[in-house]
Structure 1
């Protein structure tokens, strides 16, 4: 379907407002999607309804409100997001905090099934209904109607929710978010586009009144600004009647607001430079060269085809910049090009990340590579690679449409309406777009590339820890001097041929069985590699891969703490022996696949995805990773910078830091469970990494699971020619033992954060495994506790944005686990929130769970279980990936529904009494050293 393709490319557009709105296809020459029923009520409310088979017995409802942060005036910053929050804090039919309780008892989980999001140009409310009986459908539509004109906006709720929003705003703060916000302020110094977060300012949130919020609500939540979307197990005509019943009486309660003045969406006549100082511990500087233009008001065949050509051009430039970064890795940490079309403006962008001392090289490369492309265009070989990728995306979109899930289908339909884009069927998109892709020439791609940079001069923006006296002036001077340097046409790159197609004699199968009730095939090759396969019809054309090998963090050398951080980034950046990272990207132009390796507690984890055509290549890449990895010392600075940047973000986020620190403390300070130190990362060499990791690749036991749309026997043959040919796998050294502590005294951590952000986490050790049934009951207990925390700490106190509760089991010590509760809050509140959480859990231990709250926890899981059992990801993670090494896990899919059906409130109460007494809690808190 078209949404898959456009979301991959980043495409949206601006909708008109303040007047009756046509459907996008009514003003376009593109064909309407025949699967969707489009309608408009007399009061102006519109609806789009589509039947869909997957998942069975589910309906996804959306209320699209064509109002977002760009519709706020200066005094209303953050109001659109504020109103969205208040939708769940009391309506006519659901006063106070009763809405979530009602929906949970109906089977909708808070978060996954009930949610809302505010964007620049729109707000979307989401309900995903299980088993959509007529009564449930009316309930869901009734809730959406409550959101449309039934919010109470009680002053007490406004005061409480303002604190929740401020906590959310701070929790989402990060270096990258602040840099992006500064970039947007540079592009749009004034007007509604200045703040991309939709949060508003602390002052506007704190001073907002119920009357002012109601004025915004009634002004923008008008019938002509509302669209109801329904996708799933429905009969369109019947649903259209229910929508008319629910929304037909909705009135316009205020005068329509005038059209929003967005300010100029043009480029300056001469170079303008903006600089944002930063304290990023990773020490990197970013340089962005950007051009903006208004979005096209109408979606047409011509605009679709132009977007395709533009995407091909930027794809070609991206590969060119990737090669540049490879050649100059000592200077450039990252180089990329992109083109995006948001709700109100389009943007062409070039970006280079480098060390601050290499700022001259970054500025020069930005100016010259853009100019080189504008003057000389692209080679036929570059455009051919772009053609391969576009073709693969289009073909995959058409295939994936056959089993598209209702939830992303509904999201895509709502987003396309908001963006005023015609919602094409995948087959129609393929027919319209493929013709443009196949006949595209380098000259046509150059023409649309030049048009993307528009009239006027692009802006240059830099962020980083600069020590220059006048950085903006110095950057501008280097940019202008660089413009006087002649640039040559790009030289055609030598063709690259994939070098890893023959791994020798196919591996011999020495054991094979079929687990009939799970339709799972288990195979063991003579070299010791274990392969688990499950073919499913759940996602047409898509295959997922998951595996494990080696010792993971448990085998990290004690004298080299933190070396495990090199795995995630090093495997990608170092490439293979005969193909560096750039060559691999070039070879992957027509392949829709990805492969990664990360470090777990007791193993290294493999994760991959491909379409059917890419299965052989993915297995070849995986086999090549085990037999001929790249160990390029020239790439070390890039790997180190990425690790340090990731660590910096973690250290500046209270919740993420506390999670890592908690694991270290619960293991008595074991270095394998602590965050690496930046100094350690910068000290280690490729030789250090290779000496530890290479033996794991060469000989460690390997097990891989594959789930998806494939023929089992064909996949067995592919695996035998790749993984079956690997050197024999042998048990490795026994890792150092790890010790988990049942309880710790309260621990407070300080972090070098620059925002007012704090975190609270409590851990209770849970009983040793007593079967899958008890595990499922512990998950229900976690849900009951989370609901209480959300009700009391967020709903009543307004002292947190989110609370999570989950079960964590160690993979190294299978007899060890914890129930973890995690919350974010104000720094001054950490002691109170920690004690309140401990007290709420203790009360649950003493008094048990009520029948009502037990059902609120059980119903969403019970009704979601059939959906999970038709999910490739669930099968891979819960059963298939380790079906031979952890055979006990096969009981999870077998018992999931039965355990939930037979569970009682008494079962959960007994577990609560065993796990949650106050004296068993370990309390961890984190807050910044200084509160801004």
Structure 2
């Protein structure tokens, strides 16, 4: 259960990210047809010249409830149900601050037909996992309840609609349940609080000045969270949870008529008592030209924002409005590319910079440039950003810059058309229809088809000239003569307004000149020699995959799928990765190596050159060198038309990696800027210190002081990486919508043509030797310098390694059971945390090493009590074993996910990624279904008894610097 801030994409998106909190009789329906315009329209398309996606059926019941239903068969056999209530924190009174989010929590705490504590359990028994499939979010203007249905049996669909209706109109709002939840809400509020959150709130307050937006943050305030009486909950629920405020979205592998019938049967008789609560009108921001804002904290990164702000222009979503936004975004994107190139080429005083729109409906509109810098370079960075805005305003853009942006947008839209029928119903990452439909309705946008979006783009692009974009850019930046300026920094500055004004005045004395024309040649790597010869080709029947080996020892693992139409996923694993790191090296060298690989480009081409060379083509390569991974990975996605270029680019990373000193220098600048903030939250300290602690001090894990990042050199990185990239074993995995022979030919022409590679992984004595530490006499205490009322309690227990697939799957079930038990004890009984977390590490690299850990956010004075209670939960689980019902609730979501997971390319990439080397993925694939279906409560109980032994636990408390407790040695 989360709460989120609704905001359009902008240069200030960090603020939105930081403020996100995630947690009868049939009525007549009116299908989409002629309807009123403007504010009276039931759906945005009724007041627009844009045509809604014809795959979606819209309707409204006679009680005012609206819905959108869409048949989607990717993946097959699943569905998504969303219920959006048109209210959030903005409608709260002064005495109700935080009640919308609090009420969202109460949806899981008892209704007329579902006892308190049973809703989540009922869903788990039907195969829905809490968090992943069952959740809700509250923002300023909406509350959304989410159910992802792993099957579309009538029983599951009926249960989902039944529980949504219970939430909509039948909550009990029991006074004792409200009292029990107060501690949970307070704990969540404390856990979400951070320097970053406070900075984001201050940022929002500055740019929405005068609107009162920050006075109604969804999380609320301590006073009302602790004191709101039941009557206020009843009043808010009665006033705003009403059919005319409700929008139902159902997407999935179900006949739309069935879904509509369910909506009618479950919501058609909903008749709340009058009168309805009134919607609080939005207040436009007070725009003061030249206004200056300043936020200071020792733990924040330094950034400067210059914005051109003006009143929001109301109006429906139309073709003309989209064209205006399109032109505005083009200019911003061109200047963003200029800033990015300056960073890449070492010509910028700032570390990163970009332009974007800053728009909040009915509150404020505008554009902004945001640059991040080292503390002492904020004036230079402000000046550099100002110069680039003025350069664009005075001299405009080149045809080449415009062509590059158009090519990128066209290719993206063409890809969306190609994938239109295979976009996901719901997904944790990337596009999904359920979220897209809710978001469109929330922002009063017409949900248009990919085909319509491409057609609109072609209309916008036809005959478009740089002069057109320049005119739109100048209109967007029309208030830039006196920009609003916001500075966030760790520096304590005197007379900030004078200093910022002086910095801008000084910047404006700098001359600007027309942008230079850039000449970038063709890609240099297209001929790798004679194509390699296939020496082995075998079909793996159960995975329907092909394993191919070339004469130079390069492996290819291939599976053809149609899950993402036209999409081909490619992974190249090279060498021995993390375990080949030189003896004595640590995280400092690894991070430098990652930055050099990922940002230096290949051969003569910088990374910015590559973006230009391949603009308009669907390809890319992302090198990765992750902690604990046994290979350097290069990841990419493409289609059949661009497969050859994709393979050219990936092979170039193995053949001719660039190591640019400008990248190494800029990386160190970024580290110097970041390091003073690294201890600003408990979780950041956990990430720094605990990986070493639970591996008995192995310094390859976690990280040390600033000097450990500054010491490694480019040459040391080169000496490590070059032999790996040029000689190490190569395993290529390709999964997607492409014929096998096309892939074999392209791999033969590129990787298969390289000189002979290693035929087995390298031998690095001791590199995989890990040891879990002995239990300390007292909990280890670590310190963070962030918010003073935040703490983190963790308990680690040593567990089995990941070499046995069956054990790995039993650990997954045990993780869910431990989480549920911790929730019952810590959240429901003690009210000490919002959502306890449980993690598992079952290494398939280090024999005999693994662990399971509990993660609990809490108050500093409760941290040691929480550790003690957490250990007791583990001990009871070991002693008493697993109950039948909790085992069913843990295993059922895992079983129900089996079929849909097989319809995801990402799953098959994991299965096949090491098929011809370690073979771990294939082994786990072959064992998974049987392991889950035959697993028993006794199996998991035996594993719990083996793991949760108090004498082996390793407890850690992360406390603020000024709190009590003994520090670790």
TM range (shorter): over 0.9
Q: Matches of 2:846 and 2:665 in 1, distance apart? A: 36
Identify the residue that residue 809 of structure 2 maps to in structure 1.
Answer: 776
Q: Deviations over 1:236-272 (max 9, x none)?
A: 223222212211232344644444343334643x311
Matched, 1:374 2:393: yes
Match of 1:321 among 325, 339, 342: 339
Aligned 8 A contact 2:302 2:487 in 1: no
Identify the residue that residue 164 of structure 1 maps to in structure 2.
Answer: 184
Match of 1:692 among 720, 733, 745: 720
Identify the residue that residue 514 of structure 1 maps to in structure 2.
Answer: 539
Matched, 1:843 2:868: no
Identify the residue that residue 651 of structure 2 maps to in structure 1.
Answer: 623
Deviation at 1:460, TM superposition (A): 0.8
Identify the residue that residue 47 of structure 1 maps to in structure 2.
Answer: 67
Deviation at 1:707, TM superposition (A): 1.6
Cα pair distance change 1:572/1:74, threshold 3 Å: farther
Match of 1:582 among 608, 617, 629: 608
Identify the residue that residue 763 of structure 1 maps to in structure 2.
Answer: 796
Cα pair distance change 1:205/1:438, threshold 3 Å: farther
Deviation at 1:74, TM superposition (A): 4.3
Deviation at 1:143, TM superposition (A): 1.2
Identify the residue that residue 499 of structure 1 maps to in structure 2.
Answer: 524
Specify the SS of the correspondent of 1:748. Answer: strand
Once superposed, what is the RMSD of the aligned Cα atoms?
A: 2.9
Identify the residue that residue 25 of structure 2 maps to in structure 1.
Answer: none
Cα pair distance change 1:340/1:499, threshold 3 Å: farther
Deviation at 1:821, TM superposition (A): 2.2
Matched, 1:601 2:628: yes
Deviation at 1:175, TM superposition (A): 4.3
Q: Matches of 1:279 and 1:680 in 2, distance apart? A: 22
Q: Matches of 1:57 and 1:203 in 2, distance apart? A: 46
Matched, 1:916 2:934: no
Identify the residue that residue 741 of structure 1 maps to in structure 2.
Answer: 772
Identify the residue that residue 79 of structure 1 maps to in structure 2.
Answer: 99
Q: Deviations over 1:172-212 (max 9, x none)?
A: 34444333222111112344422696323334433433333
Q: Matches of 2:228 and 2:184 in 1, distance apart? A: 13
Match of 2:453 among 404, 429, 441: 429
Aligned pairs for 1:450-489 (under 5 A) are: 450-453=474-477, 455=479, 457-489=482-514
Deviation at 1:391, TM superposition (A): 0.2
Cα pair distance change 1:169/1:606, threshold 3 Å: farther
Match of 2:568 among 543, 552, 555: 543
Cα pair distance change 1:51/1:652, threshold 3 Å: same
Match of 1:889 among 895, 903, 921: 921
Deviation at 1:381, TM superposition (A): 0.9
Deviation at 1:704, TM superposition (A): 2.9
Identify the residue that residue 800 of structure 1 maps to in structure 2.
Answer: 833
Identify the residue that residue 751 of structure 1 maps to in structure 2.
Answer: 784
Deviation at 1:341, TM superposition (A): 4.3
Deviation at 1:57, TM superposition (A): 1.6
Specify the SS of the correspondent of 2:700. Answer: helix
Where structure 2 has 5 or more consecutive residues not aligned to the other structure, the ranges are: 1-6, 17-35, 427-431, 965-969
Deviation at 1:370, TM superposition (A): 1.4
Aligned 8 A contact 2:110 2:117 in 1: yes
Q: Matches of 2:932 and 2:229 in 1, distance apart? A: 44
Aligned 8 A contact 2:308 2:479 in 1: no
Cα pair distance change 1:767/1:365, threshold 3 Å: closer
Specify the SS of the correspondent of 2:214. Answer: coil
Deviation at 1:537, TM superposition (A): 0.8
Q: Matches of 2:385 and 2:339 in 1, distance apart? A: 10
Aligned 8 A contact 1:566 1:689 in 2: yes
Specify the SS of the correspondent of 2:542. Answer: helix
Aligned pairs for 1:38-437 (under 5 A) are: 38-194=58-214, 198-253=218-273, 255-265=275-285, 267-268=287-288, 270-280=289-299, 284-291=302-309, 293-294=311-312, 296-329=314-347, 331-339=349-357, 341-344=359-362, 345-407=364-426, 408-437=432-461
Cα pair distance change 1:86/1:454, threshold 3 Å: farther
Specify the SS of the correspondent of 2:646. Answer: helix
Matched, 1:678 2:706: yes
Cα pair distance change 1:555/1:423, threshold 3 Å: same
Deviation at 1:547, TM superposition (A): 4.1
Deviation at 1:640, TM superposition (A): 2.3
Q: Matches of 1:543 and 1:290 in 2, distance apart? A: 41
Q: TM-score, normalised by structure 1?
A: 0.93
Cα pair distance change 1:753/1:607, threshold 3 Å: farther
Identify the residue that residue 22 of structure 2 maps to in structure 1.
Answer: none
Specify the SS of the correspondent of 1:609. Answer: strand
Aligned 8 A contact 1:748 1:925 in 2: yes
Cα pair distance change 1:754/1:641, threshold 3 Å: farther
Cα pair distance change 1:538/1:108, threshold 3 Å: same
Specify the SS of the correspondent of 2:818. Answer: helix
Deviation at 1:588, TM superposition (A): 3.7
Cα pair distance change 1:603/1:767, threshold 3 Å: closer
Aligned 8 A contact 1:330 1:634 in 2: no
Q: Matches of 2:469 and 2:802 in 1, distance apart? A: 60
Higher mean displacement: 106-115 or 365-374? 365-374
Equivalences, count: 922
Cα pair distance change 1:702/1:48, threshold 3 Å: same
Aligned 8 A contact 2:8 2:359 in 1: no
Where structure 1 has 5 or more consecutive residues not aligned to the other structure, the ranges are: 1-5
Q: TM-score, normalised by structure 2?
A: 0.90
Aligned pairs for 1:629-668 (under 5 A) are: 629-643=657-671, 651-668=679-696
Deviation at 1:755, TM superposition (A): 4.2
Q: Deviations over 1:467-516 (max 9, x none)?
A: 54323212112313433554323222224422222222223333322212
Q: Matches of 1:28 and 1:233 in 2, distance apart? A: 29
Deviation at 1:605, TM superposition (A): 4.1
Specify the SS of the correspondent of 1:774. Answer: helix
Cα pair distance change 1:99/1:681, threshold 3 Å: same
